[in-house]
Amino acid sequence: MFDLTSRDIKYLTGVGPQRAAILNKELNIYSLHDLLYYFPYKYIDRSRIYLVREIDGNMPYIQLKGEILNFDTIGEGRHRRLVARFSDGTGIIELVWFQGTKYVTSKYKLHQEYIVFGKPTVFAGRINIAHPDIDPASELKLSSMGLQPYYNTTEKMKRNYLNSHALEKMMQSIIGHLNEPLPETLSNSLLHEHHLMPLTEALTSVHFPTNPEQLRRAQYRLKFEELFYVQLNILRYATERQQKYKGYRFDTVGDIFNTFYTRNLPFELTGAQKRVLKEIRRDTGSGKQMNRLLQGDVGSGKTLVALMSMLIALDNGYQACLMAPTEILANQHYATICQLLAGMHVEVRLLTGSVKGKKRESILSGLLTNDVQILIGTHAVIEETVNFAALGMVVIDEQHRFGVAQRARLWSKNLQPPHVLVMTATPIPRTLAMTLYGDLDVSVIDELPPGRKPIVTLHQYDAHRESLYRTVRREINKGHQVYFVYPLIKESEKIDLKNLEEGYYNICQEFREYTVCRVHGKMKTADKDAQMQRFVSGEAQIMVATTVIEVGVNVPNASVMVIENAERFGLSQLHQLRGRVGRGAEQSYCLLVTKFQLAEDTRKRIDIMVQTNDGFEIAEADLKLRGPGDLEGTQQSGVPFDLKIADLARDGQLLQYVRRVAEKIITDDPTASLPENELLWRQLKVLQKNNANWAAIS
Ligand code: ADP
Ligand code: MG
């Protein structure tokens, strides 16, 4: 059988070791199989030929048929270029090359019929086509040309003549060598039931579709397969985990929970909080290990749900642990929880990187004797040296999204894993949640505590600071506090710091009558905390900060969030920042300050922020605008999939559909032993072998 997977790309006609090395390095393509799964990013209709006299400078890519009359090298130095005069009898157009001119003059002959393809542009009053694709007219049969594939290539590839056209030729060569169909990767029953194209036909058609309908069906089959295996993998993992581990059974809701609920709880729980707590109680009482994702917009009251879940663990003789993404947030959780538990004799400790020496030792020994009941901290809590007597519940309050693989590593710490509640600070679009957190059950808090007024968001231009300052002054005079936030992004740290310093200076000048404090990421922790404290205590009315406050402080008295250079923030970041205000009962404001000239995408981001406060809506928009690969946190967090053709922003419906298909297969075949599914399980193993992240979670 023709084994595509194993054959090295360098043996393909026209490739060789040098080009193979470039393909390895630039696109991670090693085998013919890898190349076949490198899909076009667009297609251009090449079924029509234009006449030179029809052409103007505003056309998209077009093709002409004619001959080269002569070559000429003109210009000096950087402007040196090769120009060919090309004619089809209706007029003359110039073809231009700035590089690779030797190759061009040796390859293309005068007075032979060629098909020229490219984008016409106007230069110095004349129309030309720069770096066109050229093929002998005899080689391209128009009837079979249909849609031409376009492949992404890198600069380095282009310099070595590995452009889209070259890739297209390589694809043609592979497909031309296929004497028999490739081994099918989906079972017959799936192909049949869901009307999917066979693999070989799909791969051929996705590279060389003859019409849009065929292309659509080929893409559908390949997307189906890709998403299906991602879901099968994740669901299989969840099922195996359920079979392998028993969960601690929390039978009682006892004194600690009840005392808190009746005596300490300062307000009535919202309906959503009650519902989620019920879901958690059902999970933890079932004898299975809980793995639950709690989604809720900023300010929806997730902390309280986390605390009450931990109290149930305590009531059953277990310890609980709450992990926060940053030290500031861990501190705040610690303070909030101590306050909520006031008078209750629950032993709560804080463990972060900066807790050292005797203090640390006493915490560690207290954990081993079950004298420390709740541990709150940063990543420090999952270090080797931290061990518990009876850890029953872990809550992860995450800013950055952990992938399935990271969470799996976290749990391997215990022989019998604790119940796990993951809380996300940013709502995640359903499609992304299903892949990134596909192994978790999901709870949603979709209701804010009562009495909150929706935050009013306004877009203001940099040049009109008077009205902005008026709003700020008016709010401070009412006794409220104000944040000014500046972007701080790694590459331009120095400039950003300067912006922050200048901003700080200007604000101090403008608001001489008030106290202004300042926090940025470069400060020592102690200084940072001291500054933060001045704002929390109300001593300072204005806080000038970088994004370190993003997940940090909770100051209900703060009613205005001014975000400077808002154009430089991503949507979810803007939403997170905005969530720092609007926590009290008063009307709050978020002022997005930008320069006047904005790119279209940026303007869209700002408009969305102005239009809605709904985190889910914003997350969906973010996914659409940026694509999942760029979503904050997902890239570094080891997303357990690398999608080659499906698009989480566009293929949400298909994803939900294939998830149900995968669910059914697992329900019908829990031990993976039905003959009709044999191919699926085998293929899953192949994929796991080829994908480190997939392997890590299985
Ligand atoms: P987040 O979901 O962003 O973590 P928090 O847990 O920090 O939200 O809650 C935001 C604020 O709302 C806190 O000040 C908290 O005390 C308050 N809060 C939480 N639940 C309720 C409730 N049921 N009623 C009134 N206020 C609540
Ligand atoms: Mg929170």
Residue 118 belongs to a domain? yes
CATH classification of the domain holding 58: 2.40.50.140
Task: Domain count for the chain, please give it.
Answer: 4
Q: Which ligand is nearest to the CA of 551?
A: 2
Residue range(s) defining the domain that contains residue 29: 1-44+163-180
Buried b (16+ CB within 10 A) or exposed e, 295-311: bbbbbbbbbbbbbbbbb
DSSP 8-state symbol, 58: T
Same domain? For 553 and 464 the reply is yes
- Predicted confidence at residue 637, as pLDDT, reads 34
User: Which pLDDT belongs to residue 552?
Assistant: 55
Q: Assign residue 89 a region (left: φ > 0; alpha: ψ between -120 and 50; beta: otherwise).
A: left
Q: Closest Cα partner for 693 from 433, 292, 403, 382? A: 403
Neighbours of 554 (CB within 10 A): 17
Ligand 1: nearest atom to the Cα of 304: 6
273 alpha carbon – ligand 2 mean position (Å): 14
Question: Is residue 281 located within the same domain as residue 348?
Answer: yes
User: Last residue of some domain: 79, 110, 141?
Assistant: 141
**Which ligand gives the minimal distance to the CA of 322?**
2
Could you tell me the distance, in angstroms and rounded to a whole number, from the CA of residue 301 to the centre of ligand 1? 3
CA distance 61 to 196: 32
- Tell me which residue has its CA closest to atom 18 in ligand 1: 301
The three-class DSSP label of residue 72 is: strand
**Exposed, middle or buried, 358 (CB in 10 Å: 0-12/13-18/19+)?**
exposed
Best probe residue, ligand 1, of 270, 293, 304 (max atoms within 8 Å of C-beta): 304
Task: Let me know if residue 661 belongs to a domain.
Answer: no
CA nearest ligand 1 atom 20, residue = 301
CA distance 192 to 447: 44
Ligand 1 atom at minimum distance from 298 CA: 3
589 and 493 belong to one structural domain: yes
Q: Do 522 and 595 share a domain, yes or no?
A: yes
Beta bridge partners, 162, equal none
Predicted pLDDT at 112: 94
Distance 335 CA to ligand 2 centre (A): 13
Say whether both 399 and 271 belong to one domain: yes
Check whether residue 298 and residue 266 sit in a common domain: yes
Looking at the structure, do residues 31 and 62 belong to the same domain, yes or no?
Answer: no
Tokens 């300490």 locate to 264
Based on the fold, state whether residues 547 and 467 are members of the same structural domain. yes
Residues 431 and 474 in one domain: no
Residue nearest to atom 12 of ligand 1 (CA): 301
- Domain boundary residue, one of 612, 632, 648: 612
203 alpha-carbon distance from chain centroid: 27
Cα(380) to centroid(ligand 1), Å: 26
Q: What is the pLDDT of residue 638?
A: 36
**Which one of the ligands is nearest to 337 CA?**
1
Q: Does some domain include residue 632?
A: no
Q: Torsions phi, psi of 294, nearest 5?
A: -110, 115
Average pLDDT by consecutive 10-residue portion of the chain (698 residues)?
Answer: 73 91 93 93 82 84 91 87 94 90 90 90 85 83 70 90 91 88 93 96 94 90 95 88 86 95 94 96 93 86 96 97 84 92 96 93 96 92 86 82 60 74 77 74 86 90 90 95 84 73 92 93 81 90 81 79 92 86 87 91 92 86 66 38 77 88 94 92 88 59
Q: What is the CATH number of the domain that holds 572?
A: 3.40.50.300
Are 221 and 197 a contacting pair, CB within 8 Å? yes
Work out the angle at residue 621's Cα, subtended by the Cα atoms of residues 620 and 625, and round it to the nearest 5 degrees. Answer: 120
Collect all residues with Cβ–Cβ distance below 8 Å to 287 and sequence separation of at least 6: 246, 247, 249
What residue has token string 């005069």? 85
Task: Please check whether residue 58 lies inside any domain of the structure.
Answer: yes
624 inside domain? no
502 shares its domain with 579: yes
Residue 535 in any domain: the answer is: yes
Within a domain: 637: no
The ligand with the least distance to the CA atom of 305 is 1
> What per-residue confidence (pLDDT) applies to 293?
87
Domain-ending residue, one of 180, 207, 234: 180
The CB-side HSE value for 124 (13 A sphere, CA atoms) comes to 2
pLDDT of residue 635: 36
Residues 290 and 438 both lie in one domain: yes
Pocket of ligand 1, candidates 264, 275, 303, 305: which has the most ligand atoms within 8 Å of its Cβ, to mutate? Answer: 303
Q: What is the dihedral of CA 120, 121, 126, 127, to 10 degrees?
A: 0
Tell me, yes or no, whether 617 lies in a domain. Answer: no
Write the CATH number for 6.
1.10.150
CB atoms within 10 A of CB 294: 25
CA nearest ligand 1 atom 27, residue? 449
Residues with CB under 6 A from ligand 1: 267, 269-270, 273, 296, 298-304, 449, 554, 556, 583
Nearest CA to 292 out of 381, 429, 394 is that of 394
The alpha carbon of 249 and the centre of ligand 1 are apart by a number of angstroms equal to 28
> DSSP assignment of 559-604, as one string?
EEEEETTGGGS-HHHHHHHHTTS--SSS--EEEEEE-S---HHHHH
Q: Do 296 and 409 sit in the same domain of this protein?
A: yes
- C-alpha 346 to ligand 2 mean position (Å): 21
Give me the pLDDT at residue 591, please.
96
CA of 299 from ligand 1 middle (Å) equals 5
Three-state secondary-structure class, residue 516: strand
pTM above 0.75, yes or no: no
